[in-house]
Chains A and B, each alone.
Chain A
Amino acid sequence: MSDFEKKWSGVLTQSQTLKAYKNYVDGWEEKIGSFLEFDPNRSLSDEVPEGPLSGIPFGVKDNIAVKNYKLTCGSKMLEHLVSPYTATAVKNLQKAGALVVGKTNLDEFGMGSSTDNSALQKTNNPWDTERVAGGSSGGSAAAVAAGLVPFALGSDTGGSVRQPASFCGVYGLKPTYGVVSRYGLTAYASSLEVIGVLARTTEMCKVVFENMKGKDPMDHTSLDHTPSGKEVKTVGVLKLEEGALSPEVKNSFDTSVERLKKAGYEVIEIELPTLEYVVPAYYTIATAEASANLARYNGIRYGHAPVFAENPTELMRKSRHEGFGDEVKLRVLLGTYVLRSGFQDQYYVKAQKIRTAIRQDVERWYDKCDVLMMPVFPTPAFHHGSSDLDTFQQKQADLYTCTANLVGHPALSVPSTLENGLPVGVQFMAPPFEEDRLFQVSSALEKEFQAPEAPGYHTDWS
């Protein structure tokens, strides 16, 4: 156990420390609002198993089920829902000794890049409260960046772990599709998403990943993790068009490339011509799946129900009208549209074909390089509202992160630099099951640049 982990493993059990820790969290929460529910005492009554994560607290994105905690998904629809069961990934971490301390804020049902689409709470970036923490796992990223927890779980459907990790200056892992059980992860786009980790160190990312992965009988799409153990030598760096990135992100990206060279990696330039089709393909598939996945919320068995309805049809209609936010409605409508009979070939089927083409485009590079490097997001954390990027531009900016989701490969966002007081990350991608390659590169870079400490961050609660 590293010093960092040791420090955290006692925080909940020593009453003096616990009190100071809670005060610290309260202080930050007034500024950033990362947790929707925070209660470190709830886990303490449970017996804590001895394990690699014994006593270490963590936050869970509020679209992942933890028994006796709420499962709001950042939506008015599920504002009062308490989960009757626990997600497999969370259970695995609890078996390793980790303790859930709360549920973190997110864009409603994971739909967004800012956490501003949460219907329940506003989350701010710990580096600048005028700015967003990113999304959709913005609460988890902000909580880790502020030192409220050493790690938190997020979910990554199109970049929802990596982009907020980049915005907040922490590590963000999107594992290989299927390697972490999705059982208990509220479905948005089932074929794209996976539970991921946000943490302050590469090591923590790795330990958490190792302990939560594994084939799960409750998830038929889950897989055994079978890494090759290959050592990374060559990094394929994406060739970027002029103006593709903001100057800050461009600078940060180039800095990391230089550090890689300095660390002895061979760097080659790669091109992904299919990149321009990533966003349309992603939004076609994601919204199609979302339109079915969100159909279950109808106010009958649980969730928001209208005060009065004339009949069951009106009950469902009103429940959804009142319970869902605009972004959710937009995506459900889009998804319903692309799946209409007679239009499937034009949209859904075509998007799946593009998905295959993108996979081939990416995979051909693995003959020449061990990992791929690309930006996470074209800009640093943007301001709340649409003054920097409107919601359409935010979607367009997902192109670098969506790629890994469409092809199902693992990807890691690594803190790269601070640019004008804001953290910026870079992204690495590897073939399926090769998370270890990502950790190798990340550890090498971590020697040069560690997760930066936001003003006010500390872990000294004694």
Chain B
Amino acid sequence: MYQSFIGLEIHIHLAAETKAFCGCKANFGDEENTNVCPVCMGFPGVLPTLNEKAIQMSYVVARALNCKLSPNTKFERKNYFYPDMPKNYQISQFAEPVGRDGYIDIEIGDSIKRVRIHDVHFEEDAGKMIHAGDMSLLDYNRAGYPLLEIVTEPDLVIGEDAEAFLKSFQRLVRYLGVCDGNMEEGSMRCDANVSINPVGVGLGEKVEIKNLNSSRFVRKALNYEIERQSGLMDNGTKIIQETRLWNENRDQTEGMRKKEDANDYRYFPEPDLPPFRPSDEFMKEVEEGICELPLVRKQRLMTSYGLGSDQAEYIHDEKFMADFFEKAVFLGADAVQVYSWLSSDVKKLLNRNSQSLEDSNLSAERLARLISMIEDGQISGKIAKRVLDHIFDEDKDPDVICDEQGLVQISDPAAIAKFVDEVMAANEAVVEAVRGGDQRQMGFLVGQIMKVSGGKAAPAVVQSVLKEKVLG
């Protein structure tokens, strides 16, 4: 039996407006080589200036990960040549990163696991090189983009753990508002390392895996790699320390470079940037940047609102949704009702419009009002769904929509009696059949009455009026 040890190195693009060390826009999707200046293009004589906003976000993440925060964080040069790196060194951190020795609790299945964080450090991103036939094209828009690297200890065991970790981490950075966590667009990236050994022996030879563009690939690549290394160990083949690439077309990892070929980064202190010493004011703002973290919130949603684990899981996935939920409940709506609407009809409409809740016309006030209108018997559940549709399309309050569309439920027996009479007159044969004892036809009549009333008649009233008129 082997034991496996998995560690992750996660890079996130910090959601700052400008690059790490110059004033260029940090924007995705702009025309190639337009967000560049002499500084991020590495012209002779330029110097970096530290983006304090981005550094603050770094401290927020480190704080959320329970790290020891550096009172005097330092920058180093990491030297290696690559065409998309303008200076051919990356400004990074080594000796005194923003944070170290932290942890994060994550949910894996039904249990909570504590994963230790080795360090959190700030650095700059490189540009992009695209190979096109016999040419290589370079886009430096991304060069100098503020990047935060989070390095975990090897506390995870299998691919599924890593996938769950990434999901939790992604949710965390979205909650903190420091990154959109989008792995497809590369604003969150992950390298993984894994080693195996017979149980009790401890860490083995570390293999790093790169090119993991989704959390699914992370899981698959790690499980593939554990399998591969176990096979080698079974055969008595020595596992070598190396870097491997995930080939998503073949579902396998492939050797990229051996340890001996690894770069010697020749780290040394960045002479152009003095250490950054956070002021009290800065640290106060860092504290203010910390919100209730996802796992804590999930647990509170369960205990405070009586949501089940799956329900709380759904609601807490996005901070905006959780805030929305709590606000609607605060306004008087029933928690389970709010959950039900959010997880079914609202979700459907969001999908149909490919919108986020945040961007939609539905507010917590509107949903709470909608639910209270049902409870007060003003509208039926069926009408409420139509009202919701109108809210999404027309950006109006439910009361206004009901007024304009005349969607208020009709529960006056006299008014309903008219619909009943009309339907009975048009369906004499059916009425006779019911009177003759065929109770099954009652449903048909109710349906017709609802139709004639435009769905507005209160079904319970319809039932009683009809019963009285038909059966006497």
Contacts and interface: CB of A to CB of B under 8 A. Distances in A.
4 cross-chain pairs, A with B, having the tightest CB-CB distances, nearest first:
A295-B88, A190-B271, A339-B266, A191-B271
Contacts of A339: 79, 266, 268
B45 A296 contact: no
Contact of A301 (B42, B89, B273): B42
Given A71-B45, A339-B79, A340-B266, A292 B89 contact: yes
Interface in A90-128: none
B83 interface: yes
Contacts of A217: 49
Interface string B73-88: 0000101010100111
B46 A220 contact: no
A77 B245 CA distance: 36
Nearest to B143: A301
Contact of A185 (B45, B86, B89, B268): B45
Interface residues of B, number: 31
A302 B43 CA distance: 8
B374 interface: no
Contact of B47 (A71, A220, A288, A313): A220
Interface in B136-180: 136, 138, 140
A158 to B, nearest CB: 15
B45 A221 contact: no
A301 B44 CA distance: 11
B138 A300 contact: yes
A190 B270 CA distance: 9
B75 to A, nearest CB: 10
B98 to A, nearest CB: 17
Nearest to B75: A220
Interface stretch (A79-87, A135-143, A398-406): A79-87
Nearest to A317: B81
Interface of A: 63-65, 71, 73, 78, 81, 83-85, 87, 182-187, 190-191, 217-221, 288-289, 291-292, 295-296, 298, 300-302, 311-313, 315-316, 336, 339-341, 344, 348
B274 interface: yes
A223 to B, nearest CB: 10
B280 interface: no
A292 B77 contact: yes
B268 A288 contact: yes
Contacts of B273: 220-221
A84 B266 contact: no
Nearest to A75: B44
Contacts of A291: 79, 266
Given A336-B266, A339-B268, A186 B83 contact: no
Contact of A63 (B44, B49, B265): B44
B38 interface: yes
B41 interface: yes
A436 B272 CA distance: 27
The A interface, classified by DSSP as helix, strand, loop or mixed, is loop
B459 interface: no
B88 A296 contact: yes
A65 B44 contact: yes
A292 B79 contact: yes
Contact of B79 (A87, A184, A295): A295
Q: Which of B77, B89, B138, B265 has the most chain A CB within a 10 Å cutoff? A: B77
Nearest to B77: A292
B129 interface: yes
B87 A295 contact: yes
A291 B268 CA distance: 11
B233 interface: no
Interface string B115-134: 00000000000000100000
A348 B269 CA distance: 11
Interface in B297-348: none
14 contacts: A73-B44, A81-B44, A218-B47, A220-B50, A291-B266, A292-B79, A292-B89, A296-B86, A300-B138, A301-B42, A312-B83, A339-B79, A339-B266, A348-B268
Contact of B49 (A64, A65, A218, A313): A218
B186 to A, nearest CB: 21
Most chain A CB within 10 A, of B38, B88, B136, is at B88
Contacts of B83: 298, 300, 312, 315-316
A318 to B, nearest CB: 13
B44 A295 contact: no
Contact of A182 (B42, B47, B88, B138): B47
A81 B48 CA distance: 21
Given A65-B44, A87-B45, A298-B81, 10 more contacts: A64-B45, A85-B46, A220-B48, A221-B273, A292-B89, A295-B81, A296-B44, A296-B88, A300-B83, A301-B140
A87 B79 CA distance: 26
B264 interface: yes
Contacts of B81: 295, 298, 313, 316
B242 to A, nearest CB: 18
Contact of B45 (A184, A220, A340, A348): A184
Interface of B: 38, 41-50, 77, 79, 81, 83, 86-89, 129, 136, 138, 140, 264-266, 268, 271-274
Contacts of A84: 38, 43
B286 to A, nearest CB: 21
B207 to A, nearest CB: 21
B103 to A, nearest CB: 29
Nearest to A341: B264
B44 A187 contact: yes
A315 B288 CA distance: 49
Contacts of B265: 341
Contacts of B271: 190-191, 221, 289
A305 B129 CA distance: 18
B393 to A, nearest CB: 50
B381 to A, nearest CB: 62
B268 A187 contact: no
A220 B272 contact: yes
A78 B41 contact: no
A292 B268 contact: yes
Nearest to A84: B38
A301 B86 contact: yes
Nearest to B138: A300
B41 A301 contact: yes
B47 A219 contact: yes
Contacts of B44: 63, 65, 71, 73, 78, 81, 83, 186-187, 296
B228 to A, nearest CB: 29
B89 A295 contact: yes
A291 B89 CA distance: 10
B287 to A, nearest CB: 26
Given A220-B273, A295-B79, A295-B81, A183 B47 contact: yes
A341 B87 CA distance: 20
A238 B265 CA distance: 41
Which of B48, B49, B272 counts the most chain A CB atoms within 10 A? B272
Contacts of A184: 45-46
Contacts of B50: 220
A348 B264 CA distance: 15
Contacts of B268: 288-289, 292, 339, 344, 348
A383 B312 CA distance: 84
A183 B46 contact: yes
Contacts of B38: 84-85
Contact of B272 (A83, A190, A301): A190
Contact of A220 (B49, B89, B264): B49
Given A87-B45, A183-B46, A296 B79 contact: no
Contacts of B86: 296, 301
Nearest to B263: A341
Nearest to A298: B88
Contacts of B42: 296, 301
B87 A221 contact: no
Contacts of B264: 340-341
Contacts of A64: 45
Contacts of B129: 312
